[in-house]
Amino acid sequence: MSTVQTWVADFAAREQGLTGAGIPWLAAMRKRAIERFADEGWPTTKHESWRHTSLASLEQQQFLPAAQSSVADLASRIKAGEAGHWLVFVDGRFAPDLSDIGVLPPGAQVLPLSGALADSPESVQGLFGAETQGASTVALNLALASDGAVIRLERGVALEKPVHIVFIAASQQAASFPRNLIQAGAASQAVIVEHYVGQGSGASLTNAVTRAELAADAHITHLKLQQEDEQAFHLGTIDVVQAKSSVYNSHSMSFGARLARHDIATDFTGDHCETLLNGLYYVNGRRHVDHHTLIGHSRPHGVSREYYRGILADTARGVFGGRILVAPGADKTDAVQRSDSLLLSRMAKADARPELEIYADDVKCAHGATVGQIDENSLFYLRTRGLDEASARRVLTYAFAAEAVSRIEPEALRRRVVTAIRSLVPDGAELGEFA
């Protein structure tokens, strides 16, 4: 039996037990989604956007039901006394004992998707998405998703503390399908952190989808920090729609998983929209990470900035495919796209494909990509200042990453990313005096 048939059979066995199984619109959509996945199967390297990323190793895996695992200590370390509204999920299921949503201002809602589907399913129907959107992996998520986070902000609501959505992969060979829904009303503001971690979960699968709608003048900062186990598989999709004068700042930090794929797209449906897509990844061993982005400048006066940086060691591989689409009539568009990769080994490999597709005349757009090793002149300079070669390489590696990290606000989130980088770079703890 092929893995596609396995997932179809798994859906048939689990369908009636999924959260919201009795909701007519959701049940019908799930059926259409699994039919689409059965028809298309997993994306292959024959698909242009997956040309450099094969899911063959994922298809060979057999995933098991989640087991009961104690993750209280790990959840406590992740929180580390940091203020915020916390939702914690273990193997894709909401863990109320580990969560602490706290007090929210009037007009703000933060709750698990399972709770929203149980209490007011009509409130999430419009944002849930459709089975025709995204790759076939997104359709599989829709078919099997039964939990995730729902964040709704009414007009003018501003959250003072970040919303932390923590997904812990705790069971060996388990698969989870989180679906997060964000609805930001006019002139609302929030910082949202998606954090994916593993606890000895081996070759687990996380297939996550986050959908967001930003009304006029809304301002959302979104940090995704991916730190799952080295044998894990992570397929992540972020789909954003922006209305007039809204601002969406995305920071995608990928530091874990045997294979990680991140698809990030935002569409400007109003004038004067702004977005920042900022990414950083570190891969070593034989690990593979792929970022694919799409910024749709559909209206005039849009501003987008896209910067991705990758650090690659051993025989690892990094892929970046970025596309900026400027539609007819999207005059005064201002867009910059850049991808830079640092190779720490001769066997590491980076593929970059930045694209500009422009159908308007009065625009200012630029793109570029670099792939290289540590600069020998910079290395020599640090050696003359008394550093040994290993320490000098460490400093230059961190300096390369620091440019991406410096764009992250607020400071507490930046510190969280810095800690993650130091845990990855050999002897990274010694970088403290250079941070």
Residue 1 reports pLDDT greater than 70: no
Highest mean pLDDT among 70-79, 232-241, 394-403: 232-241
Burial of residue 41 (number of CB atoms within 10 Å: 0-12, 13-18, 19+): middle
pLDDT, averaged across the chain: 94
| Range 113-140 average pLDDT | 96
| Range 176-204 average pLDDT | 95
Report the pLDDT value the prediction gives residue 80, as an integer from 0 to 100. Answer: 83
Q: What are the residue boundaries of the structural domains of the chain, listed by start?
A: 3-270, 375-435
pLDDT band, very low/low/confident/very high, at 48 (cuts 50, 70, 90): very high
Report the pLDDT value the prediction gives residue 433, as an integer from 0 to 100. Answer: 44
Residue 93 reports pLDDT greater than 50: yes
Residue 57 reports pLDDT greater than 80: yes
Report the pLDDT value the prediction gives residue 410, as an integer from 0 to 100. Answer: 83
Report the pLDDT value the prediction gives residue 67, as an integer from 0 to 100. Answer: 81
pLDDT band, very low/low/confident/very high, at 136 (cuts 50, 70, 90): very high
Taking only the tens place, the pLDDT of each residue in 381-432 is 999 999 999 889 988 998 999 999 999 988 888 988 988 888 877 666 666 5
pLDDT band, very low/low/confident/very high, at 212 (cuts 50, 70, 90): very high
| Range 172-184 average pLDDT | 96
Taking only the tens place, the pLDDT of each residue in 278-324 is 999 999 999 999 999 999 999 999 999 999 999 999 999 999 999 99
pTM: 0.95
